[in-house]
Structure 1
Amino acid sequence: MKIQIVFLAFVVCSAFGQEPRVFTTEDFDLLGQVKSCLVITDYGKEAFEFDRKGLLTKVTTIYSDTDYDISYYKYSRGLLKEKRLENYREDSLDRQTSLAHVYSIDTLLNKVVKESVYSYQREFLDQFQYKYDTTGNLIAVIRTTNEGIDDTQITYDTLRGEITKTINVNGITEHSLRTAEKEVKGQLLRVELEKKYLKGEPYKATESFKDTLGRTLREINFDYDEEKSGFAKSGEVSYIYEEQGFLKTKIQKTNNSEKKQEYIYQFDGHEPSNWIKMIITPDNQYTTRRITYYKDDPPETDGEG
């Protein structure tokens, strides 16, 4: 299950910005020719709209009847060309905080994507250059603002079948990800060890075990122990899935506690079927999805949940 609940962070908080990415219905656990999906929880609403190819075109995050944010996504030949983030307060567009992201792609030699960010007051804010190698791996991000330049370099090292991706911002390591494939109890798993650094010093790590479908089966969390000059386990999370591939059980363990959550779904009558209500026990958190489909993919369904 890729997205368990609403309110995605489309502007990913990282040192080097968010690499331009195209979102589709698949990223939201949506099957078939979905036209729109309104997600309702006990703490808010978010509406997603898609084109007939399944590309995300609009996101509306609703805080109240008069306060909401709208994100628009425009494409050219399947590539992201423009993203607009409009913030409305008291039903009026806030031009000071609304942003336009414009993308251009140069493929003359190795691929380079340029992202320019402007306010709705036509002020230049940021520019990112994403550089790729011949195999399509992101290798550098150059951020230019009115205050200066940030240089992010991304390296890939391979040793005994393990690939380590390291991110350095202005010469300081901020993140690393080591990936390998291992057979565990007769099952081929993708093992990822992610380390986070603060001012170049390690402080957290997570080891994840994923199956061939990309589902996370287990996560082990670590905190850095300065006295021992190494990582110490702080807890782990296990995930169990039901027959259709949706998350069924989540078990969180720390040194002092254990928490178990069960996920219960209600599905619509569409073929292929999508879930329209998810309840998480014992907290009784709920998520309801109202899904509409393109008419040429019968039957059209509006799941009320």
Structure 2
Amino acid sequence: MVKNYTYLVLILTAIVPQFILSQEIKIFRTSDFDLKGKVKKCLVLTHYGKEEYEFNIDGLLTKSVTRYNDQDYDVTHYKYSGDELLEKRSEVYRDDVFDENTSIANFYTIDTTENRKVTEKIISYSKEFLGQNEYHYDAEGKLIKVFRNDNEGSDETEIVYTNVKGEFTKTIKVNGIVLRSVRTSEKKGKDQGKNSIVLTKEFIEGQPNKAVEEVKNGIGLLQDRTLYYFDTKTNQFVPEASMSYAYDENNMLIKTETKTGEVVEIKEYIYQFDGSEYANWVKQIVKPENDYKTREISYYKTEKLVVEE
């Protein structure tokens, strides 16, 4: 059975140099899973298995489970102090047996004595120390350095921010070599204010490799996405594929169009919604494949405020 890590990739952190690619310590909320309102639990049924999510009353993810079958599944637990992540435990179960060797725990210590610093220690369930990451922030709260140390060595990631004529660029270097650059700019959109344009370039050993440009409207909905490859002959980024996105009056994605060369692929999205006041979707059908995904959602009970006259 092929194992799909659609959400697992977002949630689990591996102690490898590529971890530095993510930079920030990501805290997941209901909005990251296209959920609205006071969601307590969400079960997602897909063709490859099940995804289970649990949230606290503030909308922070506290537990996720990826089930490939009844015997193989991964569980991640999150512990917070307010909005600060203190602990993440990633547990692996195969043949319904807990795998101590591949399960890890991440512990976070926050120091705000001067500028913010977060220390992350990674330890296996067999009590083996796997590594440590230190995240350093500037006075404005922006991440500027990450130091990684583990059994394979150490890395220093530097994040540099520049602003040239309203274009903001974040350049990420690992041990002095450019790994990625992210340039953000704005232009006037057709409606709903200004569009934001984010161009992300990826580098290998300091040399340009690929890029992606995303255009979002004034309320953050993705409108267009273009993929580029780097042509070493012309020394330029060349478009490889482009995608456009369409939404209904409720900002639900209803259509995507992908162009690759002369080939055009169109997908349409149809939804069924629950009967809650939040109107979350519980079934998504993608045509023409008729691929579908269903969700079972439960909510925290909230008392409505009654004002006496």
Alignment TM-score > 0.5, same fold: yes
Distance apart, 1:58 and its partner CA: 0.2
1:301 matched to which residue of 2? none
Q: Identify the match of residue 225 of structure 1 among 219, 228, 231.
A: 231
- Asked if the contact 1:167/1:175 (under 8 Å) is kept, the reply is yes
After superposition, give the CA deviation of every residue in 1:27-56 in whole Å (9 maximum; x if it has no partner): 111112111000001111100001111111
Q: CA deviation at 1:17?
A: 5.2
2: CA distance, partners of 1:297 / 1:218 = 41
1:184-203 equivalence runs, <5 A = 184-185=189-190, 187-203=193-209
Give distance in 2, aligned partners of 1:259 and 1:297. Answer: 47
TM-score by length of 2: 0.91
- Aligned mates of 1:294, 1:184 — CA distance in 2: 38
- Structure 1 vs Structure 2: percent identity of aligned residues? 45
Structure 1 consecutive aligned stretches of length 4 or more whose deviation exceeds 4 Å: 5-8
Query: Is the Cα–Cα contact under 8 Å of residues 189 and 217 in structure 2 kept in the other structure?
Result: no
- 1:266 paired to 2:267: no
Superposed, 1:1-305 pairs within 5 Å as: 7-11=8-12, 14=18, 16=20, 18=22, 19-185=24-190, 187-296=193-302
> Which AA in structure 1 matches 2:73?
Y
Amino acid at match of 1:257: V
Q: TM-score, normalised by structure 1?
A: 0.92
Structure 1: give runs of 5+ residues left out of the alignment.
299-305
Superposed CA offset, 1:274-294 (max 9, x none): 100000101111110001112
- Does structure 1 retain, via aligned residues, the 8 Å contact 2:13–2:19? no
Measured at CA, do residues 8 and 245 of structure 1 come closer, stay the same or move farther in structure 2, by a change above 3 Å?
A: farther
Give how far 1:15 is off. 5.1
Residue correspondences, number: 294
1:149, CA displacement in angstroms? Answer: 1.1
Q: Post-superposition shift, 1:185?
A: 4.0
1:77: how far off? 1.9
What is the aligned-residue RMSD (CA, Å)?
A: 1.6
CA contact (8 A) 1:6 1:39 kept: no
SS of aligned partner of 1:134: coil
Give the whole-Å Cα distance in 1 for the aligned partners of 2:64 and 2:26.
Answer: 15
Does the CA-based 8 Å contact 1:15-1:169 persist in structure 2? no
Q: Distance in 2 between matches of 1:45 and 1:8?
A: 15
